[in-house]
Each structure stands twice: as structure tokens, then as C-alpha cells.
């Protein structure tokens, strides 16, 4: 007798990740390919890491111009550079739950309400935007 696996009862991300493809008769498919939802989750994770790296890269590229515009010292250059990494840390650990609770659009638009009139406001916005 071949083992059977039931589909996840709840439509959760973890349920879709752990999903095992089944044949129509209910038996487990050997050498299971990724399901459509697993591919979507994988591509979203890849896109997230890509844009995270893009932000860090672009901060490094723009840093000389930012320093010239705001007359930054070496320590302030370091703070501006570290702000994006700190923002990634805060955004990943704390603000993800708030986005789940209040929605992605309100949380994303709230970060743009801050203006960057000084280097300190620019650092704060980078840190809070995640």
C-alpha cells in the first residue's frame, strides 16, 4: 500500500510550502516538482532579496552625492550607509507584522510622508522604511 498525504487544511504560506503533490488517486508523486503556489512564493522571496541588495547598492552609489548635498562628515556617511541595513533589520523583524495587521499600502505610504530636509531625516526615513 502506498502512503497518502492530505492537502493542507488552511491556506497558509507554510501550508503551501509544505504541500506535497498528489496523483489523482491520492498517492504521493515521486520526485515532486514545485507547485504553482510554491513557485510564486519562491519568486517573491527572490524578488525581495534582489530589491534589498539593490537598495544597499544604490545607497553606496548615491552616497558621494548625498554627502556633497548635505555636507556630511565621515561619521555621518557611515550613519547614512548603516541606516539602510538597520532599516532592513527593523523592517524584517518588527514592521512586517504591522503590515500584516494594517495592510501593505498604508504602511508603505506612511514612510513617504516623512521628508528628508536634513541628513538626519534622511537616515530616519531609510531606517523606518525597512
Vertex 91 angle, CA 61 and 9, to 5° = 130
79 neighbors 123 (Cβ within 8 angstroms): yes
Cell reading at 98 = 504591522
Domain spans of the chain, in order of start: 13-129
DSSP sequence for 57-111: HHHHHHHHHHHHHHT--HHHHHHHHHHHHHHHHHIIIIIHHHHHHH-HHHHHHHH
- Prediction pTM value: 0.49
Q: For each of the chain's 130 residues, which pLDDT tens digit applies?
A: 555 555 545 577 777 777 777 778 888 777 667 788 888 888 988 988 898 888 889 988 999 998 999 999 999 999 888 888 887 787 777 777 777 788 777 776 666 665 455 656 666 666 666 5
Residues with Cβ within 8 Å of residue 61, at least 6 apart in sequence? none
Amino acid at each position: 500500500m502506498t502512503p497518502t498525504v492530505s492537502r493542507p487544511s488552511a491556506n497558509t504560506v507554510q501550508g503551501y510550502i509544505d504541500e506535497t503533490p498528489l496523483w489523482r488517486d491520492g498517492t504521493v508523486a515521486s520526485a515532486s516538482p514545485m507547485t504553482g503556489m510554491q513557485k510564486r512564493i519562491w519568486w517573491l522571496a527572490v524578488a525581495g532579496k534582489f530589491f534589498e541588495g539593490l537598495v544597499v547598492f544604490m545607497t553606496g552609489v548615491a552616497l558621494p552625492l548625498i554627502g556633497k548635498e548635505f555636507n556630511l562628515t565621515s561619521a555621518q556617511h557611515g550613519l547614512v550607509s548603516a541606516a539602510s541595513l538597520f532599516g532592513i533589520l527593523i523592517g524584517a523583524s518588527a514592521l512586517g507584522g504591522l503590515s500584516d495587521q494594517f495592510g501593505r499600502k498604508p504602511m508603505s505610504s506612511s514612510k513617504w510622508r516623512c521628508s528628508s530636509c536634513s541628513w538626519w531625516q534622511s537616515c530616519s526615513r531609510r531606517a523606518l522604511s525597512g
